[in-house]
């Protein structure tokens, strides 16, 4: 899984790293929780969109306007990442969080764990110039 993590944009690596540190600071040291925090956005790398492309995509999605193929990939990053994590044999929590982190908590994730992961995901985003 490390190889896939490092295929992400530096900002996404930094975000995953910060999310993992956040769950650890909340007293969660289980490997499945850390993996969920680190890997939840790995599907984004397939869109190959930079900061401006992601911003435009987010606006177009909110306005329900047509999207390009790459924008659609970005919008589906949770599902794409969950499929990849499944193929890699990742913990079920990492798969479920990747799949659902932009929607409602599934019954498969305990509510306290969900809240910790969601809080970690909402941590300040990294700048594109940050180095991992």
Mean pLDDT in residue range 42-55:
96
Give the separation between CA 29 and CA 26, rounded to whole angstroms: 9
Residue 35 falls within a domain, yes or no? yes
**% of residues, the chain, pLDDT over 70:** 92
| pLDDT attached to residue 1 | 85
Residue 98 falls within a domain, yes or no? yes
Residue 103's domain comprises 2-121
Residue 127 falls within a domain, yes or no? no
Mean pLDDT in residue range 20-40:
96
Residue 126 falls within a domain, yes or no? no
- Assigned token pair, 126: 């990294």
Residue 101 falls within a domain, yes or no? yes
Average pLDDT, the chain: 93
Exposed e or buried b per residue across 35-71, where buried means at least 16 C-beta atoms within 10 angstroms of its C-beta: bbbbbbbbbbbbbebeeeebeebeeeeeeeeeeeeeb
Q: Is the pTM of this model over 0.85?
A: yes
The sign of the dihedral angle between the CA atoms of 65, 71, 76, 77 is negative
| pLDDT attached to residue 125 | 52
Q: How many domains does the chain have?
A: 1
Residue 58 falls within a domain, yes or no? yes
User: Among 92, 100, 95, which residue's Cα sits nearest to residue 118?
Assistant: 100
Residue 43 falls within a domain, yes or no? yes
């Amino acid at each position: 899984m490390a190889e896939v993590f490092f295929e992400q944009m530096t900002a996404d690596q930094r975000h995953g790293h910060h999310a993992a540190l956040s769950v650890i600071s909340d007293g969660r040291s289980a490997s499945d929780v850390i993996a969920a925090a680190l890997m939840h956005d790995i599907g984004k790398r397939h869109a190959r969109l930079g900061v401006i492309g992601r911003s435009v995509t987010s606006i177009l999605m909110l306005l329900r306007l047509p999207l390009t193929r790459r924008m659609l990939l970005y919008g589906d990053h949770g599902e794409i990442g969950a499929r990849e994590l499944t193929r890699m044999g990742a913990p079920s929590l990492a798969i479920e969080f990747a799949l659902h982190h932009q929607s409602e908590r599934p019954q498969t994730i305990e509510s306290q764990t969900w809240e910790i992961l969601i809080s970690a995901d909402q941590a300040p985003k990294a700048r594109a110039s940050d180095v991992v």
